[in-house]
């Protein structure tokens, strides 16, 4: 770690020298550019509050390195990694207007901390493709000097959204047409990819005096290195690999189809950002990490003690059950170039650690990309300590995996049971727990309780996101398989199988085994209109909706402790988040979609109330002496309620008002009705016999049904999606629910009278 900080400072120094040493032969041009850059420096200081030294380059006309502090970003050596992360986020925002990179292109790497301070870097990438050799912003806080050292080595990329046209097989064919490998090399190539995609400088020379030009390329090779345009197939250059250096490639056999279709067929993938240690020319073993193609070039005339283990630069680690490092078990050493190949996936007792490691890296990248897409500041938006994963654990016959939550300065520990290393679902389940816990500042939806009675929300997230990661509805483990797209995955089905002796009401919604119906409701929402796919179908609008709502839970932590675990609270957040006006009625199309998705899985949060006739048909026109019935549907099951009938327009609705405010506005000869919904959330019955005297009856009316799930009505009128408030049922509110007409009125024409009479007929 100390070495990394020293290297960081050395790179910053080199960056400063490069920017400061550029020369322009034309004195007039040199003077003009100097004036422009000095003006840029002053403008940067004025815009950002920076105080310190800034170096710049004439060739690119950009600010390059910074040493100093920002007046509005206080920081000390005693601060923790969270404070450093927050400071870095603010620094990057200040740099962006003067940088070649865009915010969506930058991904924060792991924060390193030691006695001399903190350091991290932001890697530049587009569509997941990194840059070869450059493309980063490095930020270091030097405790001794009490200031930040910042280097901006980003580049201007030609595209914001680009994908390769040329396949790997096409690139290999072009490689073989121009480079001849021996048979040993060709055999190695069969077990591991040797070409990878990244943005590369295609200039003939990489001299600092030549403006770099970047293109998306297939790049790689053994004795020779080739650069092939990933769009056109054009070869930009072929260079010799130095024979004194060692190219290391780290790969693994993984099971990408095990969760989707239950197949354990393996495929070979390169492991990026993976640790490699070596002794180069007598320098004690330093930790290095593979690039985006799973390779690393070790420079030196004598390179020894080369090792690899399943530890990523972001901090993700996979251990054996014994606690030891998982190291390569297939080493090919026939060439100066070495291949470390993890091949554990054919044996269940090993726990499949490399499959877990690969899934952990990809899931982390997916969640980070989602957070950036959503603009959320949750944990995975900026890295702290990633979880430590242990494979092949003995957790008992009914446990797939478990997590021991970390703290502000320690990582969480995840244990995966024997047999579940073959799947990504269990691992991603526990990593989602870690993400939610850190996003909620080391809290859970359960509010510290381990009670099974409060487990649904925490585990609904951990059931949904493993499927989101693969864009596939199947959650698969060694114990069970669940299909989130299954419409039969409902409150009723889980009640029947898991809680047959319990009463179905809103309390049961929060129980642990309701996690899958909740996740299934969210998955159902993915397929409804108004929630489209995003980012070339990598995500759905529901994904960003959920993490955005999680951010609201975080902001309300001081208030939501006692009801955070309730699914209704999160439902209210979703409904409020997609609201596009200030009125609760009627629901907009997105709210209707959310309501239908929840109701389809048996979660009833938005009661429907409608006046009916004696024959139980919808009716909104009555005459004196008629009986008014009500039909209640989609209400919380087996839940008490109280019905009120009031004169419409006589009462001003205020959310949260006491029902006692209704007393002066009740319909004539009406007495509130107290009943309970049935097991299906429905109820219907007589609520009012209209007086026969017209003057006491004619007019417009509303029906209000007061719920207070699950014990008794709460005595409050709720029609807004606030906190965990139980929504009441209304027939009326914005307009009359029903009208009582005087049928003794002499109607002017027979046609009008006929129409009026038809309204009164059941």
pLDDT digits (tens, 9 = 90+) for 696-739: 899 999 999 999 978 899 999 999 999 999 999 999 988 899 99
State residue 210's pLDDT score.
64
pLDDT band at 163 (very low <50, low <70, confident <90, very high): confident
pLDDT band at 381 (very low <50, low <70, confident <90, very high): very low
C-alpha–C-alpha distance, residues 316 and 416, integer Å: 14
pLDDT band at 43 (very low <50, low <70, confident <90, very high): very high
C-alpha–C-alpha distance, residues 194 and 217, integer Å: 13
How many C-beta atoms lie closer than 10 Å to residue 747's C-beta? 13
Condensed to tens digits (0 to 9), the pLDDT of residues 189-229 reads 887 788 989 888 887 665 545 677 889 999 988 878 899 99
Q: What is the mean pLDDT of the chain?
A: 85
Residue burial 233-270, b: 16+ Cβ < 10 Å; e: rest: eebbbeeebeeeebbbbbbbbbbbebbeeeeeebeebb
Q: What are phi and psi of 315, to 5 degrees?
A: 110, -10
Condensed to tens digits (0 to 9), the pLDDT of residues 527-581 reads 988 899 887 677 899 999 999 999 999 999 999 999 999 999 999 999 999 998 7
E strand segments, 39-116: 50-57, 62-70, 106-108, 112-114
Is the confidence at residue 243, as pLDDT, over 70? no
Both structure tokens of 733:
């509110």
Range 644-657 average pLDDT: 94
pLDDT band at 99 (very low <50, low <70, confident <90, very high): very high
C-alpha–C-alpha distance, residues 415 and 401, integer Å: 6
In the chain, what is the straight-line distance between the N-terminal and C-terminal CA atoms, in Å? 82
Condensed to tens digits (0 to 9), the pLDDT of residues 407-442 reads 877 889 999 998 899 999 999 999 999 999 988 988
Q: Which residue has the higher pLDDT, 6 or 241?
A: 241
pLDDT band at 473 (very low <50, low <70, confident <90, very high): very high
Range 373-402 average pLDDT: 75
C-alpha–C-alpha distance, residues 333 and 513, integer Å: 51
Mean pLDDT is highest, among 30-34, 313-317, 561-565, 577-581, for 561-565
Q: Which residue has the higher pLDDT, 293 or 624?
A: 624
Is the confidence at residue 480, as pLDDT, over 60? yes
Q: What residue has token string 């509005």?
A: 72
């Amino acid at each position: 770690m100390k070495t990394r900080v020293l290297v960081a400072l050395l790179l910053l120094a080199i960056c400063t020298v490069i920017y400061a040493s550029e020369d322009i032969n034309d004195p007039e041009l040199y003077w003009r550019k100097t004036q422009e850059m000095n003006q840029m420096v002053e403008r940067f200081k004025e815009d950002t509050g920076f105080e310190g030294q800034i170096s710049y380059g004439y060739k690119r006309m950009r600010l390059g390195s910074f040493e100093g502090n920002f007046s509005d970003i206080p920081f000390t050596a005693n601060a923790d990694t969270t404070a450093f992360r927050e400071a870095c986020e603010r620094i990057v925002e200040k740099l962006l207007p003067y940088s070649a990179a865009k915010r969506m292109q930058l991904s924060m790497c792991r924060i390193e901390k030691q006695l001399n301070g903190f350091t991290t870097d932001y890697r530049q990438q587009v569509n997941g493709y990194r840059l070869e050799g450059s493309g980063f912003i490095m930020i270091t806080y030097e405790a001794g000097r009490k200031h930040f050292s910042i280097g901006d080595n980003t580049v201007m990329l030609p595209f914001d959204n680009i994908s390769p046209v040329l396949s790997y097989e096409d690139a290999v064919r072009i490689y073989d047409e121009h480079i001849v490998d021996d048979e040993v090399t060709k055999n190695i190539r069969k077990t591991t990819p040797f070409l990878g995609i990244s943005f590369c400088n295609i200039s003939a020379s990489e001299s600092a005096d030549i403006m770099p030009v970047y293109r998306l390329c297939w790049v790689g090779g053994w004795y020779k290195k080739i650069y092939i345009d990933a769009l056109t197939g054009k070869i930009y250059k072929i260079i010799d690999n130095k024979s004194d250096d060692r190219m290391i490639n780290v790969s693994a056999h993984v099971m990408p189809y095990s969760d989707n279709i239950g197949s354990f067929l393996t495929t070979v993938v390169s492991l990026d950002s993976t640790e490699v240690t070596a002794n180069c020319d007598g320098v004690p073993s330093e930790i290095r990490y593979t690039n985006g193609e799973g390779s690393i070039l070790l420079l030196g005339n004598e390179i020894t003690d080369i090792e690899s283990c399943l530890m990523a630069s972001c901090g993700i680690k996979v251990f054996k059950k014994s606690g030891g490092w998982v190291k390569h078990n297939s080493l090919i050493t026939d060439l100066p170039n070495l291949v470390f190949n993890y091949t554990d996936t054919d044996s269940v007792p090993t726990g499949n650690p490399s499959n877990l490691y690969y899934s952990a890296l990809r899931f982390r990248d997916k969640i980070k990309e989602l957070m950036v897409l959503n603009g959320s500041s949750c944990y995975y938006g900026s890295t702290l300590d990633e979880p430590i994963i242990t494979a092949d654990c003995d957790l008992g016959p009914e446990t797939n995996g478990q997590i021991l939550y970390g703290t502000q300065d320690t990582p969480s520990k995840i244990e995966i049971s024997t047999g579940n290393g073959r799947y990504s679902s269990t691992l991603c389940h526990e990593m989602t727990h870690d993400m939610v816990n850190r996003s909620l500042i080391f809290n859970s939806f359960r509010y510290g309780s381990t009670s099974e009675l409060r487990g649904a929300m925490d585990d609904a997230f951990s059931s949904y996101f493993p499927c989101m990661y693969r864009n596939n509805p199947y959650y698969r483990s060694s114990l069970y398989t669940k299909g989130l797209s299954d419409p039969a995955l409902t409150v009723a089905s889980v009640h029947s199988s898991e809680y047959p002796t319990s009463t179905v009401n809103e309390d049961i919604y929060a129980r642990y085994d309701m996690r899958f119906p909740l996740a299934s409701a969210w998955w159902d929402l993915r397929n409804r209109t108004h929630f489209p796919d995003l980012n070339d179908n990598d995500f759905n609008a529901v994904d960003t909706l959920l993490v955005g709502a999680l951010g609201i839970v975080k902001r309300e932590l001081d208030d939501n402790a006692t009801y955070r675990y309730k699914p209704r609270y999160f439902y209210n957040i979703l409904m409020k988040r997609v609201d596009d006006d200030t009125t609760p009625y009627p629901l907009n199309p997105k709210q209707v979609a959310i309501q239908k998705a929840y109701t389809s899985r048996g979660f009833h949060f938005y009661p429907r109330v409608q006046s009916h006739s004696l024959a139980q048909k919808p009716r909104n026109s009555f005459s004196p002496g008629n009986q008014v019935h009500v039909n209640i549907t989609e209400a919380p099951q087996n839940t008490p309620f109280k019905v009120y009938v009031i004169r419409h327009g006589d009462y001003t609705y205020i959310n949260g008002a006491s029902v006692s405010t209704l007393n002066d506005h009740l319909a004539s000869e009406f007495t509130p009705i107290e009943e309970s919904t049935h097991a299906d959330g429905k109820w219907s019955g007589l609520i009012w016999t209209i007086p026969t005297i017209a003057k006491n009856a004619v007019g417009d009316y509303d029906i209000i049904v007061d719920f207070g799930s699950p014990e008794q009505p709460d005595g409050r009128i709720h029609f807004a999606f606030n906190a965990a408030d139980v929504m009441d049922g209304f027939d009326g509110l914005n307009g009359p629910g029903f009208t009582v007409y005087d049928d003794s009125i002499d109607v002017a024409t027979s046609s009008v009278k006929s129409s009026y009479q038809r309204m009164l007929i059941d």
